[in-house]
Amino acid sequence: MDKCNACKFSDDTQEPSLAEKYPKLFSELEHSTESEQKQKIEEMREIMEVMHREDFQSVFTKELFDKIDKMMEEEKLSMENAILLLKHVGYNKVLKKILLYSFDYSSLSKRMKEMIIDENEKKKEEKNEKLLVDL
């Protein structure tokens, strides 16, 4: 009986919260191949779906969006994977009815606005319509 009680208390570590798991996965993106990034983004999507509103708001900060922008600039995150990640964020934000102003003030928001303007200024045959829709 003492042995069983010892087993119960020997592992006092609690599983990390969703708000802790997400940044860990996010930080791993930087050092992953493109296909590994897609897998991690899928794991991140699953976490987003069960995240509470408070956790969601605490994770998706201006700093996180700025980090995505920096990773894109340094070519550590492809545009395709960044857009995939942001689509999941946007979908869950709407689903959970969360107002999230942190994106609006991020460098990523500024980059995307500039990309939209640049793409719109191109001649019709040069425009990447899929990119415009994604942005």
Please state, in angstroms and as integers, the Cα–Cα distance from residue 103 to each residue in 33, 80, 121, 122, following that order: 26, 18, 24, 26
CA pair distance 50, 124, nearest whole angstrom = 42
Say which residue, 47 or 15, is predicted with more confidence.
Answer: 47
**Band (78; pLDDT cuts 50, 70, 90):** very high
pTM more than 0.95: no
DSSP letter, residue 72: H
Percent residues over pLDDT 90 in the chain: 54
What tens digit of pLDDT does each residue of 120-130 get? Answer: 888 877 878 88
- How many Cα neighbours within 13 Å face the side chain of 23? 15
